[in-house]
Amino acid sequence: MTRILGIDPGSRKTGFGIIELDKQKIHHVVNGRLMVGDGEFADRLGQIFEGLTDIIQRYKPDMMAIEQVFLHKNADSALKLGQARGAAICAGVSQKLPVHEYSATQIKKAVVGNGHAKKEQVQYMMSVILNLSELPVEDAADALACAITHANHAALGERTKSKLPAGMRTSSRRGGRYSR
């Protein structure tokens, strides 16, 4: 079984969610959010790193998926979000996890079917897909959605791997001729 840690980075609240893949089934392991408060920014980054490192050591995921930074109107907010994301990535890399990145649009499209879905729609779909008794908080729902997006992309990649000999590829030309 494969465990995937999803992360929704934030400089004050970082969502996390872990799912487990059992063949074609997805099971919920844990979800929540790290609340790092209003302290010094460097201290908050350290709390994100340490908190996620603890979660990784406790639940032993095999890989990590994280939401990419989207553009903010406020440059300072974008920089802080990018640094929080960096702290989260460093936590994964320090524990030898492969890290995969997805845009918010990719994640929403994968789990709701609409790349511009609202947070409430993502929360609802996570409760349905994972058979949760209650809606996860926004940040945790986004993290779970990120993990599920990676599970779907990884499964699709496995099914579409080329069956051709090494070095061979199909041509983009009509007719599907093989080429080197």
Position 157 scores a pLDDT of 56
Where do the structural domains in the chain lie, given as residue ranges? 2-179
User: Out of 40, 67, 138, 158, which one is annotated catalytic?
Assistant: 67
User: Out of 8, 20, 22, 158, which one is annotated catalytic?
Assistant: 8
> Does the annotation count 67 as an active-site position?
yes
Looking at every residue in the chain, the average pLDDT score rounds to 87
3-state secondary structure of 62: coil
Q: Cα-flanking dihedrals φ and ψ of residue 67, to 5°?
A: -75, 135
Position 163 scores a pLDDT of 46
Q: Cα-flanking dihedrals φ and ψ of residue 144, to 5°?
A: -60, -40
> Does the annotation count 54 as an active-site position?
no
Mean pLDDT of 117-127: 94
2-179 architecture in CATH? Answer: 2-Layer Sandwich (3.30)
Q: What pTM, to 2 d.p., does this model score?
A: 0.85
User: Out of 40, 120, 134, 139, which one is annotated catalytic?
Assistant: 139
What is the distance between the alpha carbons of residues 13 and 21, in angstroms, rounded to a whole number? 26
Per-residue pLDDT at 155 exceeds 80: no
Per-residue pLDDT at 57 exceeds 60: yes
Mean pLDDT of 52-71: 93
Higher pLDDT, 92 or 69: 92
Position 172 scores a pLDDT of 46
> Does the annotation count 62 as an active-site position?
no
